[in-house]
A and B are shown apart, each in its own frame.
Chain A
Amino acid sequence: MTAPDRERTTDPPGTPLLELRGISKRFGAVQALTEVQFEVSAGEVVALVGDNGAGKSTLIKIISGIYRPDHGTIRWKGREVAMSTPNDSGALGIATVYQDLALCDNLDVVGNLFLGRELAWPGGPLGVMDEMTMERRAVEVLRRLSVKIPSVRIPIASLSGGQRQSVAVARSVMGDNQVVLLDEPTAALGMAQTHEVLELIKRLRGQGLGVVLISHNLANVYEVADRITVLRLGRWVGVYDARKTSREQLIAFMTGAVPGTAEVPMVSGGVTGDRTGAS
């Protein structure tokens, strides 16, 4: 099913949707990112890998507008943009699904999919919600993504981990979002549920979205990613074609056993990598 998509996306034509160049970010004495490059195009899955402290989290937070880079440019569809708040990134069409999913357990699936952007008339907090249209659209989106849940009127609390992850991902494509960032989407899932989520990622690509996958699990990365961006100690190692790079090579790039495309100089002195959180 995904073969034609892979064909098209291995070498993305034209301008990438999102393009970061020369991104640096410093937290006090810690140089979290140094001259990092990243790009993702429509209809491809780009994995972002690296050992703990490689700077994945910092980069994700820059893309989602939580942090501002100290240096470097961010281009959206070729146009340079400034992102200083999560709203800026959301307005461009970038959605982030964090590890904690940020779902309200007590609300049903429809309520969560439309959380914060309920269809209501008149607008504003006192608008009366149009539950029927919201439900119809929710069903549409879930069908489009082939998400299997017992009912859209079921509270999130009664869904499995994989189903919750799927709902969180579905929410990220509810707006006109074109790039979806998934932070460790399979970390807490069993095998069947992991499979479910990976299939969902392939469907997002199939629908022309740019997907950024952050994962520790290289098996998952190889199953869905078209290209793999490697970070190490806050520096950009390189971006590799998932089909042409073996897992051993990738691990060598991640650990620094082999210098990457960027010819990373050996770390000396102050560069200690990303200490801003578990990536």
Chain B
Amino acid sequence: MSSTLEHDPRVIAERTGVAGVLRAYGRQLRQGDVGQLPVLVGLVVIWTIFEIAADGRFITPFNLVNLTLQMAAGGTISVGLVLVLLLGEIDLSAGVVSGLCAAIMGVLSVSVGLPGPVAAGLALLVGAAVGTFQGAWVTRFGIPSFVVTLAGLIGWQGAMLHVLGRTGTLNLRDPFIISLTGTFFTGAGSYLCLAVFVAYVAIGPIVTYRRRAAAGLAVPPLAFVAVRAVAVGAFATAAVVALDADRGVSSGLLFLISAVIIVDFVLRRVRLGRMIFAIGGNAEAARRAGIPVQRVRIVVFMLASTFAALGGILSASRGFMVNQSAGGGPVLLNAIAAAVIGGVSLFGGRGSVWGALLGTIVIQSISNGMDLLSLSSSIKFMITGGVLLTTVTIDAVLRRSRTVAR
């Protein structure tokens, strides 16, 4: 019987070589998967504009360190939101949950007098509980997450005001909490961080390349892998050298980058990540394939709120205080905007956490640059809104062309 089977080695025509990679990228573009290229281009444009407009005050070690400090809290919230967005859901409560958890940490530390690590740990647990509650509500009653987390947006805001009570502003003095973002690594410390980052981002793909090549699987041209590794490595090194010239690599930035790397690994290499993408792509197919769709949804809402809590803690640590405006205002929308600018689809199933990091850099660069130019917050809001609208439009238009192309 097996003699009737003809093995034709050409049936899976893996295109290799430079032309193959270019063709694959062209195919990707046509399908609306533009990757990170537009964001990188946009970032270069934004940095150039501010560098010129601010007379060279934008790209300085001092300002870049400030930028990393500004990124830490919002970026961490954004990382959690990516998970929710990949499911095709939304979490509108992320901002106020970050504020609520910061307030809880503040009260536990300042009013109750608990040690910093305990206060911060309990705040994280509250974040996880809030997310589990919202996720369970969404799945149990089949209510759109938009509505459930909108209720959360209002309700948790009230909870935060209740927790803060009449105190208004809590000034944090706990050395542990302050050190969460206020520790700086310079010299050997910063280069150790750099080495870990480069190992994951640049060397990892090369190792994968070698293993795949050794196993006889299709591989992209080595030149592409190498060029990408060198580019990423060079950029990271330049960044660390620049940061070192001022205060150094802040622990807040390390929290953000670690969160990005861990979540990226989970999304790309761990089964849970594959389940999240599958549910975002076709929830019914995922369910039929035996994926516990509802449980994964609850876990994702839990993770998102936990990252929001971490973001709130980092924000409080950086400002040395918690007050009634914590987590309010633009915090949520900036975090969503960062994810969307970074190419995370609002319709689910498409995007990466690196995109959210790039988006965070874009959003915070705009904010930082406009502060340098002493623009009023009215202008800041309008410009940020314009950037968000533009990127969401690009996403929608590309998605339409993707559907039509089929």
Q: Does B188 contact A (CB under 8 A)?
A: no
* Contact A206 B282, beta carbon cutoff 8 Å: no
Q: How far is the CA of A103 from the CA of B272 in the complex (A)?
A: 18
Cross-chain contact of B282 among A104, A129, A150 (Cβ < 8 A): A104
A residues in contact with B274, CB < 8 Å: 107, 111, 115, 118, 129
Question: Which chain A positions have C-beta within 8 A of B280?
Answer: 106
B179 contacts partner chain A, Cβ-Cβ < 8 Å: no
Partner of A105 from B281, B284, B291 at Cβ < 8 Å: B281
> Is A87 an interface residue when CB atoms closer than 8 A count as contact?
yes
Cα-based distance from A131 to B24 in the complex (angstroms)? 20
Do the beta carbons of B271 and A136 come within 8 Å of each other? no
Partner of A132, one of B217, B270, B272: B217
Query: What separation, in Å, do the CA atoms of A86 and B281 have in the docked complex?
Result: 22
Q: How far is the CB of A48 from chain B (nearest CB, A)?
A: 21
Assembled-state Cα–Cα distance A193/B148 (Å): 45
Q: Which segment of A17-25, A71-79, A152-160, A233-241 sits at the interface?
A: A152-160
Segment of B1-9, B126-134, B231-239, B356-364 in the binding face: B1-9
Interface status of B140 (Cβ within 8 A of chain A) = no
Encode A94-117 as 1/0 by CB contact (under 8 A) with B: 000000111111110001000111
Partner of B4, one of A5, A116, A128: A5
Q: How big is the A interface, by class?
A: 35 or more
User: Can you name the residue of chain A whose Cβ is closest to the Cβ of B32?
Assistant: A157
A142 on interface, CB distance cutoff 8 Å: yes
Kindly state whether residue B388 has any CB partner on chain A within 8 Å: no
The answer to whether A87 touches B218 (Cβ under 8 A) is no
Asked if A132 and B211 make an inter-chain contact with CB atoms under 8 angstroms apart, the answer reads: yes
Residue B36 at the chain A interface, CB threshold 8 Å: no
Cβ of A243 under 8 Å from chain B: no
User: Which of A52-60, A119-127, A184-192, A215-223 sits within the interface?
Assistant: A119-127
Pair A132/B212 contact, Cβ less than 8 Å: yes
B15→A150 contact, CB < 8 A: yes
Contact partner of A102 (CB less than 8 A), chosen from B269, B288, B402, is: B288
Listed residue (A2, A104, A124, A147) with the most chain B CB atoms within 10 angstroms of its CB: A104
Q: What is the CA–CA distance of A154 and B33 in the complex, to the nearest angstrom?
A: 12
Contact across chains for B12 and A152 when beta carbons are under 8 A apart? yes
What's the minimum C-beta distance from B25 to chain A, rounded to whole angstroms? 13
Contact A103-B27, Cβ < 8 Å, known A125-B275, A128-B269, A151-B15: no
Per the bound structure, the CA–CA distance linking A60 and B226 in Å amounts to 52
Contact with B along A246-267 (1 / 0, CB 8 A): 0000000000000000000000
Q: Which residues of B contact A5 (CB under 8 A)?
A: 1, 4
- Point out the residue from A115, A129, A146, A148 that lies within 8 Å of B6, measured CB to CB: A146
Establish whether residues A115 and B215, one from each chain, have CB atoms under 8 Å apart when the complex forms.
no
Contact A157/B31 with A104-B286, A142-B12 known, Cβ cut-off 8 Å = yes
Given contacts A5-B4, A206-B5, contact A104 B277 (CB under 8 A): yes
Kindly provide the distance from the CB of B252 to the nearest chain A CB, expressed in whole angstroms: 27
What separation, in Å, do the CA atoms of A139 and B8 have in the docked complex? Answer: 12
Complex contacts, B282 vs chain A, CB 8 Å:
102-106
Residues of A within 8 A of B211 (CB): 132
Interchain CB contact (< 8 A) of A107 among B1, B4, B278, B406 = B278
- The reply to whether the CB of A4 lies closer than 8 angstroms to some CB of chain B is yes
**Interface residues of A, dominant DSSP:** loop
Question: CA A233 – CA B198 in complex, angstroms?
Answer: 67
Interface residues of B in 1-60 (CB under 8 A from A): 1, 4-9, 11-15, 24, 27, 31, 33
- Count A-B pairs with CB separation below 8 Å: 128
Query: Is A149 an interface position by the 8 A CB rule?
Result: yes
Query: Shortest Cβ distance from A129 into chain B, in angstroms?
Result: 6
Q: Which residue of A lies closest to B296 (CB)?
A: A125
Does any Cβ of B come within 8 Å of A275's Cβ?
no
In the complex the two chains form, what is the Cα distance from A124 to B270 in whole Å? 10
Q: Is the CB of A115 within 8 A of B278?
A: yes
B402 and A115 within 8 A (CB)? no
Asked if B215 and A136 sit within 8 Å, CB to CB, the answer is: yes
In the complex, A100→B277 CA distance in Å? Answer: 19
- Min CB distance B62 to A, Å, is 41
Contact A102 B270 (CB under 8 A): no
Please give, as numbers and ranges, the residues of chain B lying within 8 Å of A29 by CB-CB distance: none
- Known pairs A151-B15, A158-B27; A111 contacts B278 (CB<8 A): yes
Q: How far is the CB of B290 from chain A (nearest CB, A)?
A: 4
Residues of chain B in range 260-297 having any CB-CB distance to chain A below 8 Å: 269-272, 274-275, 277-278, 280-282, 284-286, 288-291, 296
Q: Which residue of B lies closest to A114 (CB)?
A: B274
Across-interface contacts of B284 in A (CB, < 8 A): 100, 102
Q: A87-B290, A128-B269 are in contact. Are A208 and B278 (CB under 8 A)?
A: no
Q: Taking the complex as formed, is B228 at the interface, i.e. its CB lies under 8 A from any CB of chain A? A: no
A-to-B contact residues, CB < 8 Å: 1-2, 4-5, 86-87, 100-107, 111, 115-118, 120, 124-129, 131-132, 135-136, 139, 142-144, 146-155, 157-158, 203, 206-208
Given A118-B274, A148-B11, 16 more pairs with CB closer than 8 A: A1-B4, A104-B277, A115-B291, A116-B286, A116-B291, A117-B289, A125-B270, A125-B271, A128-B269, A142-B12, A144-B7, A148-B12, A148-B13, A150-B15, A151-B12, A151-B24
Task: Please provide the 6 A-B residue pairs with the shortest distance between their CB atoms, ordered closest to farther.
Answer: A116-B289, A104-B281, A106-B281, A102-B285, A106-B349, A116-B290
Q: What are 18 A-B pairs at a CB distance below 8 A? A: A102-B282, A103-B282, A106-B349, A116-B290, A118-B274, A125-B271, A125-B272, A125-B296, A127-B270, A128-B270, A132-B217, A135-B217, A143-B8, A148-B13, A149-B12, A150-B14, A154-B27, A207-B1
